[in-house]
Structure 1
């Protein structure tokens, strides 16, 4: 079997409401669907988050295609090493989601060729059902409470809330509202996206402790690991690394410095599904749990990572996904809105490879939406490029 071409289709899928984080806002999800064709008629499917933009992902795919055309997609290690070393991506350090998508598409091809779901190729099912969190992105406390109640009604066990606003009192009010709306049984996780200095973080997290947080995610810079370790010792809430743990090399440094109680890992930021499995193994050896991070994903990328999560022991906590925000999806009956989850969780698909199919009508619809309004779905809100936010905010 040989790769003959890579096809890429950018799509834009709306959210139920805007996603707001410490430095931006977006109204929907842009992803690039990637299809890897072969001379035997099989096509591997994958998805790349448009991070930092769809244009950069598409450009990355163009640079990768000559390196993989003619290669055997079943020789995944050799193919990725060719991209990393001959293509010089090794020197970029944090790889593009485009490379991860090519790697995932090759795994899909391998699974199709041998007639097995990917979960079996990654060690077999360990978790029959993988939990995911409910992402609450509302701004006003009363709306946050309503979303928390919705999460509980749908059977989710964990809610995730962005903090790091310009007004810390507002963050406290939103966390309090989420606890009220979601109820006492719900696990609460907050993410500041590095928005706080050490002093501000210690002060704010101590104010939030009464709401029984499961994790506070990347509250301070991930570039100063000794200081991050000091924060971890002082806040009294488990610290989840994210921006500090994009790659396996980053994760090893976090472990060495004792900078986190758990690590967020992401196959799209570190070269693919095999490296996701390696990340989990690295953390397992250190006695640390991992959770899957998401840059925003549709059902294709969700299914790809889900196979690895289901086969890996230390994915014990709820993982990040965008079901609470997505108004629709491009797959035929998998992923998408939160109503499609079962009690906040998903089982790995059982068909060969990824085990899912695209809904071609929806792909066409959302590809057209990307062409017409793609700029509206970027990570930044209108007006943000003219501002100059500081990091950290406080």
Structure 2
């Protein structure tokens, strides 16, 4: 079987408005997702589909051009079963654009599953769990609004909520306090700074103010390459520290482990450049004793399905994951929606991504 064509289509979707206005985090406001779909055809008549997702400045249109103009011409003629060779070829011809590579590689996994008539999670070792428990993110707002939003998600079955911080120290602490009081001790409250704080000293001071409200973890308090400062924060707080943007590749995970910069790693199919690299990160972290969760851009249904397949098969999946990106959109691209029930995600059972 050989790859005969690869094309992309830029897609848009309006995000749900959390507090009656455009949702925002420390990364900025986000009203519309601009992603891209990757369509891959083979001489066996099997078509695979993948998704390119991004919340960063380089989004759907630009990333689709990376595929159409650079990756696609180089991959024609490859056997989809040679997925390691395909990833090596993409790394060789396009340095660091992992988000685009992930969409291409996702389509390859879809083809493999369809060719073998099995869901992707079976290609990754099979089910470790029947479902993935989920976390739901609370965007910026007045602390009272954020607490009300958390209660709604808790009533829907989410046992974990993620408080987005980075507005101001006082408002952030107030939000964590009110969310904790609103959902009670039976639910987990985690905090995500999205790189908002500038120094270890600032982060430590704010986190210590939050500790009395028992946050489950603190996510990415500083910019990604500040590993020594992240390690300093980790040594000086009483809450587990999770990195996200600091790990885009297995080599990043190795450096985080070496510098003891985190207790937990948030792994993305997109940021990793695809499922194969994400599995490598899970394996490295497992050997180092660091649990992982799976993060979201948030994706539409295609990308979300890939995440769920990954999480279904990974033994080292620890904290509740963000594999519900399609729920943040007013409408999804899938005709048959993914299965979400009582705060859990279930892998599709159809061939490929399902």
Q: TM-score, normalised by structure 1?
A: 0.84
Residues 1-394 of structure 1 correspond to what in structure 2 (within 5 A)? 1-17=1-17, 18-50=22-54, 51=56, 52-62=58-68, 63-85=70-92, 87=93, 89=94, 92=95, 94-165=96-167, 167-196=168-197, 197-320=199-322, 321-335=324-338, 341-355=340-354
Residue-by-residue CA offset, 1:100-158 (whole Å, 9 max, x unaligned): 11111111101101111111110010011111211111411221111111111111111
Query: Deviations 1:323-351 (Å, cap 9, x if unpaired)?
Result: 5532211112324xxxx621111121111
Q: How many aligned residue pairs are there?
A: 345
What SS does the aligned partner of 1:334 have?
A: coil
1:259-300 deviation per Cα after TM superposition (whole angstroms, max 9, x unaligned): 101011112112211111111010000011001122220110
How far has the Cα of 1:246 moved from its partner? 1.6
How has the CA–CA distance of structure 1 residues 65 and 72 changed in structure 2, closer, same or farther, with 3 Å as cutoff?
A: same
What secondary structure is seen at the aligned counterpart in 2 of 1:47?
strand
> RCO higher in 1 or 2 (8 Å CA, sep ≥ 6)?
1
Asked whether the equivalents of residues 247 and 270 of structure 1 are also in contact (C-alpha less than 8 Å), the reply is yes
Is this contact kept in 1: 2:98–2:274, CA < 8 A? no
Q: Distance in 1 between matches of 2:32 and 2:178?
A: 25
| Native 8 Å contact 2:25 2:164 kept in 1 | yes
| Structure 1 contact 119–125 (Cα < 8 Å) conserved | yes
Name the SS of the counterpart of 2:308 in structure 1.
helix
Tell me, which stretches of 5 or more residues in structure 2 are unaligned? none
Give 1:182 deviation, angstroms.
2.2
Distance 1:333 1:207 in 2: 45
For structure 1, the 5+ residue unaligned runs are: 356-394
TM-score (norm 2): 0.94
- Please report the RMSD computed on the Cα atoms of aligned residues, expressed in angstroms: 1.4
2:307 counterpart SS class? helix
